[in-house]
Amino acid sequence: MGHGKLKKFAENETFRCLLQPDASQVLDKEPGSKELRLRDHAIKGNWGREMFGNDHPIVLELGCGKGDYTIALALRHPEINYIGVDIKGARLWKGAKYATEQALPNVAFLRTRIEFIDAFFGPEEVSEIWLTFSDPQLRGSENARLSSPLFLERYRKFLRPGGIVHLKTDSRYLYEYTQAVVKVNGLQVLACGTDIYREGMYIPESSLRNPSHPDGWVSPSYVAEGGHRFGDIHTILTDMESVLQVQTFYEKMFLEMGLPITYLAFCIGHEGPYAFPGEAFDHDFWLEAEGPRRSFSHQPAQRHSGTTQGQ
């Protein structure tokens, strides 16, 4: 391990805004068994009081990487508390250091595996979740996708009623997979678009304040000119300006490469277990459509989006 990483890990220990629980704090063995089980961390249900000192809404970014998106949203919305979650301590160092040096009161970071996320947040403690350029798991397990029914079940344990999930990705495969999950479960779509910077996005009329576009399409230029924000019924849904103007490092790189960026926002509310999309999602078609991507080393990478959890 390089000296730079060791230095960052040591400095991470000094950041009050960064929680780095040991695995033993959330895992123990089932009585009389060698199997591990997940148990609640002490911060669960107590983020407002223990970390932020207020009862403002809490929004998570899962797979936040260096935390640039988390911080950008927090700067735009000081009335909301933002928590970036990632497993890579060297990446989290950048965001935690910036938040500490700038004394940002509404930013925190959590270092943990996202599979453990429901050990850290209590019922109705979180209002929104951002999934920014998550690994589409093209050839991996469906359960590993952060928008899979398995993860939606986890999110539902701590999201408020009407809780919102935002998916922003360069992977058309992941976008279409998530659309299929939403459709088969009858979830409410709040906004969607397959090329949001060139074509804008579709927003159902019920999600608009003072709607003037009957067809529901809102262009990027209209947003840039100070157009509609999302509706009053979803009082803390991030405005469209944030969707278009807040960009991660890799998102900017993808745009320079000419890759379209997709966006989907939906409400997670649902009774009963979440269904898998099955035949509603054409895996082979969208895997082929994903096409070649260029890796970070600028070498051709067939059928891979170039995205990883935590970018």
Give 97-139 pLDDT, tens digit per residue.
Answer: 999 999 999 999 999 999 999 999 999 999 999 999 999 999 8
Q: List domains and CATH numbers for the chain.
A: 3-21+38-290 (3.40.50.150)
Beta-carbon contacts of residue 190 (< 8 Å; ≥ 6 apart): 164, 203, 204, 207, 230, 234, 237, 265, 266, 267
- Catalytically active residues are 135
Rounded to whole angstroms, the Cα distance separating 153 from 163 reads 12
- Note the pLDDT tens digit of each residue in 152-204: 999 999 999 888 999 999 999 999 999 999 999 999 888 889 999 998 888 77
Residue 115 amino acid letter: E
What are 190's two structure tokens? 């709040």
Q: Model-level pTM?
A: 0.86
Q: What is the C-alpha R_g of the chain?
A: 19
pLDDT the model gives residue 293: 55
Q: HSE (CB half, 13 Å, CA atoms) of 64?
A: 33
Which residue in this structure is represented by tokens 């509706």? 231
Output the average pLDDT for the chain: 84
Burial class (CB within 10 angstroms; exposed 0-12, middle 13-18, buried 19+) of 268: buried
Decide if 25 contacts 116 (C-beta within 8 A): no
Query: Which conformational region is residue 136 in: left (phi greater than 0), alpha (psi within -120 to 50 degrees), or beta?
Result: alpha
